[in-house]
Amino acid sequence: MAEADMDDLIEVIEKEGNLDNIPKTLPMMPVRDIVVFTDMLLPLFVGRDKSIKAMEECVGYDRYIFLTAQKDAEVENPGTEDVYEIGTVGRVQKMIKLPDGRIKALVQGIVKAKAVAWLKKRGYFKVEVSFLEEQDPEELDIELEALMRNVKENSEKLLSLKGELSGDIGDLLSHIDSPGKLADLVAANLNLRTEDAQALLELNDTPERLKKVNDLLARELALTTVQAKIQTDVKDEISKNQRDYYLREQVKAIHRELGESDEKLAEIKEFKAKIKRCKLPKEGEEEAVKQLRRLEQMHSDSSEASVVRTYLDTIVELPWSKSSKDVLDITRAQTVLDKNHLGLEKVKERILEYLSVRKLNPKKKGQIICFVGPPGVGKTSLGQAIAKAMKRKFQRLSLGGIRDEAEIRGHRRTYIGSMPGRILQGLRQCGTNNPVFMLDEIDKLGNDFRGDPSSALLEALDPEQNTAFSDHYLNIPFDLSNVMFILTANIADTIPSALLDRMEVIRIPGYTHQEKIEIAKTHLLPRKLRDNGLIRRSITIHPNALATIVTEHTLEAGLRELERKLDTICRKIARKIAEGQKGKFTITRQNLTRYLGPPQYMPELDQEESQVGLASGLAWTEVGGEILYIEISLFPGKGELLVTGQIGEVMQESARAALTWTKANQELLGIDKDAFDNQDIHIHVPAGAIPKDGPSAGIAMVTALVSAFTGRRVNNLVAMTGEVSLRGRVLPIGGLKEKALGALRAGIKQVIIPEKNKKDLYDIPKNVKSKLKFTCVRDVNQVLDIALEPCVEASAKEADIPETDPDGTA
């Protein structure tokens, strides 16, 4: 550059910076989204009419114009209240008129100024300004110099992070000695909000302004650092994925050149072969092929691929067309059932009928069978025996405590860790589509906010619907019609009625004493000897000892407690043998207490002899039948009735009905007229901790009441069951077989039952009927004639007369 040109440039710069050359009256132009600082050079696109007019007018003011920020950038036509008073006087360095009427201008900030008066508002703004000069301190103290150095270093770091740092900018920053100019330069290049930038512009204290700029610079540096780190991480991840992709493609190409297939291709090929072998229904095959195509397009290590792979594994492992061949030899089936279970003739007969129909008509839909009976009677083992007789696979599922519907129908695939329901999981484990599937404890299903599992079972256990059972996870219909479902329950009352309607209920009441002894001898004892490592020859249990164990050490309808007692005996003998004792061990009734201790169950002391006001009723429980004693006591009072023993409302109503009938027939019964008015009646049912309810103790209560008021004893060998009406009719009851077995266990000889229950005697085993005398009655008078012994009052009085000598003295 020539020396003359340099002198002209210096003269222009000095002229622009000389405040005396700047007019005090200037056109004003509001600017949006930016605050203009001194020495700041920026391009402006001017489009509003007032702004264009102001830009054109500035030519007459030596190209000087007052620029101030607009408070709200959304206001299209700002007024005096919409702009800040403090702004910057700038000079237009270059101006170009665009074809669309807008103006493109290059403006440089000259000096900070304040609008003190508005001279023109129409057409364009014209203001009178006063300049706000700043004086840098003559000498920089250590603190201000350190602040300047910190601002310069942070500015270089920020520009370096943004990739905008160059040698010219570094030289420019290093040669600035004025704190005010440094603050303006840095503030002009920071991405500040309009409010923050205006606050900096209005700050006149130079050190304070530089300190504020330093704070804003530090914040911007921190944000830019985090942003750069995020961009670097994303770039690295993308680069790694691209690298992995290229490497995999190279491996595939190498395998193809060698004539080999990679793992993914081998997996896809294997799935295709398995789907073809499964012989899926059309809908299932379409879904499987669709999911296989999805897997083929996915990355092998992605989480979605893992979900699809698990789903396909489930589909190909289910036995869609794989079934075991039934062996329907009825004679052999009967042999298997008799070998594994003693008694239970009705149950065996129903099973053999099912197998016979299956043999004659293989396409007949299977009936759902439900075994209902007390614990320990062999319900689960019966299912195993059926599977063994038919040579089918056996699968068992315990439903006790299940509250989630998804346990039956499965979880939807949208959930993490979703899986099919327990029914399909069972079929997957056994590997055939026609196993004997036992659903244990159906009466103990629950429900809560997760759904009702019993409702989900309705479809699976309905032969008309289960040909297309829908599982939420699988979402493909599965045919369950070939599965033989067998359900077990202790009581049928808690089974939902809709579910109970789909099942054929077969009741298993329990075993008699003789059956228990026979089962213990042929099944339980050999198994316990084997479990405890004993030789059959080393131990002998006499029949009378077995009978004592059954009668005095157990009191149950099933066999579990009996099995535990035999296990106890075998353990004690095993210990003796382990300690070195030799010889043959013999268990008799006399030495049984050494192994099991004293008898745990003895006949009730109250029933050692016939008593007044004590009658024996019969009760049905979940674990079988048992004796229910009714005690009545009379004491002076006002004829009030007190009932105790934790009995329910129905049983309390039976007590009141029994008392009403007794009062109504007191003359026929020979009861004193004032007996009910002068005495209170207390009816108590022992075992008060056990809840009791039901109407079947009605005739027992009448018998005990009449006995208490007439003084006639109730025969202790007679038990009774039946509901009583107000007219003395004996109404039918349920659970007769269980009650009869309970009476036999308690040593009862005669049982009084309602005449309408005579038909139920057909189901009672012959050996029970041979030991119990069943008497059918229609009304209560018949019950009283049988249960009450003749009045002994006269004989008692004769017994109380003392013998006298001939002289008449005692």
Cα Rg, the chain, nearest whole Å: 51
Task: State whether 772 and 642 are in the same domain.
Answer: yes
Task: Give the pLDDT band (50/70/90) at residue 171.
Answer: low
Chosen domain end from 566, 596, 626: 596
Catalytic residue (one of 393, 528, 692, 739): 739
Q: What is the pLDDT of residue 700?
A: 92
Q: For residues 409 and 419, what is the distance between their CA atoms, to the nearest angstrom?
A: 10
Pairing of strands 484-489, 436-440: parallel
Check whether 377 is labelled as a binding-site residue.
yes
Check whether 380 is labelled as a binding-site residue.
yes
Chosen domain end from 250, 285, 317: 317
Task: Give the pLDDT band (50/70/90) at residue 412.
Answer: confident
Around Cβ 225, how many Cβ atoms within 10 Å? Answer: 13
pLDDT at 536 over 50: yes
Check whether 31 is labelled as a binding-site residue.
no
**Residue 200: CATH number of its domain:** 1.20.58.1480
Check whether 597 is labelled as a binding-site residue.
no
Average pLDDT, integer, range 377-392: 85
Closest CA to 647 of 619, 614, 688: 688
Q: What is the pLDDT of residue 138?
A: 67
Is residue 459, in this structure, part of any structural domain at all?
yes
Task: Give the pLDDT band (50/70/90) at residue 168.
Answer: low
Tokens 């706000």 belong to residue: 132
Taking only the tens place, the pLDDT of each residue in 591-605 is 888 888 888 876 544
Task: State whether 165 and 197 are in the same domain.
Answer: yes
Task: State whether 519 and 541 are in the same domain.
Answer: yes
How many Cα atoms occupy the beta-carbon half-sphere of 200 within 13 Å? 30
- Long-range own/partner contacts, residues 597-602 (CB < 8 A, 24 or more apart): 599/548, 599/552, 599/553, 600/552, 600/553, 600/555, 601/551, 601/552, 601/553, 601/554, 601/555, 602/552
Summary mean pLDDT of the chain:
81
Task: State whether 70 and 165 are in the same domain.
Answer: no
Is residue 651, in this structure, part of any structural domain at all?
yes
Taking only the tens place, the pLDDT of each residue in 227-243 is 778 877 777 777 777 77
Is residue 237, in this structure, part of any structural domain at all?
no
Check whether 806 is labelled as a binding-site residue.
no
Both tokens assigned to 634? 């009379």
Chosen domain end from 554, 572, 596: 596
Is residue 179, in this structure, part of any structural domain at all?
yes
Task: State whether 362 and 466 are in the same domain.
Answer: yes
**Residue 581: CATH number of its domain:** 1.10.8.60
- Which pTM value belongs to this model? 0.58
Both tokens assigned to 631? 């005690």
Task: State whether 520 and 645 are in the same domain.
Answer: no
Task: State whether 413 and 558 are in the same domain.
Answer: no
Of all residues in the chain, the percent with pLDDT exceeding 70 is 90
Taking only the tens place, the pLDDT of each residue in 778-789 is 999 999 999 998
pLDDT, greater one: 569 or 600: 569
Around Cβ 168, how many Cβ atoms within 10 Å? Answer: 8
Helix intervals (H) in 18-69: 49-57
Task: State whether 639 and 710 are in the same domain.
Answer: yes
Taking only the tens place, the pLDDT of each residue in 539-555 is 888 888 888 888 888 87
Is 739 annotated as catalytic? yes
Catalytic residue (one of 696, 725, 770, 797): 696
Helix intervals (H) in 163-281: 167-174, 179-189, 194-202, 206-258, 263-278
Is residue 1, in this structure, part of any structural domain at all?
no
Phi, psi of 321 (to 5 degrees): -130, 5
Q: What is the pLDDT of residue 6?
A: 40
Q: For residues 644 and 688, what is the distance between their CA atoms, to the nearest angstrom?
A: 8
Is residue 255, in this structure, part of any structural domain at all?
no
Around Cβ 668, how many Cβ atoms within 10 Å? Answer: 8
Helix intervals (H) in 439-596: 453-460, 497-500, 513-519, 525-531, 543-552, 560-578, 592-596
Is residue 524, in this structure, part of any structural domain at all?
yes
Is residue 245, in this structure, part of any structural domain at all?
no
Check whether 30 is labelled as a binding-site residue.
no
Both tokens assigned to 466? 């289960």
Task: State whether 271 and 405 are in the same domain.
Answer: no
Task: State whether 460 and 478 are in the same domain.
Answer: yes
The domain total for the chain is: 6
Q: For residues 719 and 772, what is the distance between their CA atoms, to the nearest angstrom?
A: 10
Residues 6+ apart with CB under 8 A from 197: 34, 35, 37, 69, 187
Q: What is the pLDDT of residue 2?
A: 40
> For residue 756, with 0-12 CB atoms within 10 Å meaning exposed, 13-18 middle and 19 or more buried, which class applies?
middle
Amino acid of residue 461: L
pLDDT at 670 over 70: yes
Q: For residues 757 and 735, what is the distance between their CA atoms, to the nearest angstrom?
A: 10
Task: Give the pLDDT band (50/70/90) at residue 608.
Answer: low
pLDDT at 78 over 50: yes
- Domain of 303 in residue numbering reads as 263-317
Q: For residues 684 and 714, what is the distance between their CA atoms, to the nearest angstrom?
A: 16
Taking only the tens place, the pLDDT of each residue in 114-139 is 888 888 888 888 888 888 877 667 67
- With beta carbons less than 8 A apart as the criterion, state whether 654 and 695 touch: yes
pLDDT at 414 over 90: no
**Residue 375: CATH number of its domain:** 3.40.50.300
Helix intervals (H) in 665-779: 666-669, 675-678, 698-710, 736-745, 766-771
Distances (CA, A) of 26 to 17, 187, 232, 362: 16, 25, 50, 108
Task: State whether 78 and 124 are in the same domain.
Answer: yes
Check whether 378 is labelled as a binding-site residue.
yes
Task: State whether 566 and 687 are in the same domain.
Answer: no
- With beta carbons less than 8 A apart as the criterion, state whether 145 and 128 touch: no
pLDDT at 13 over 50: no
- Between the ranges 316-325, 404-413, 686-695, where is the mean pLDDT highest? 316-325
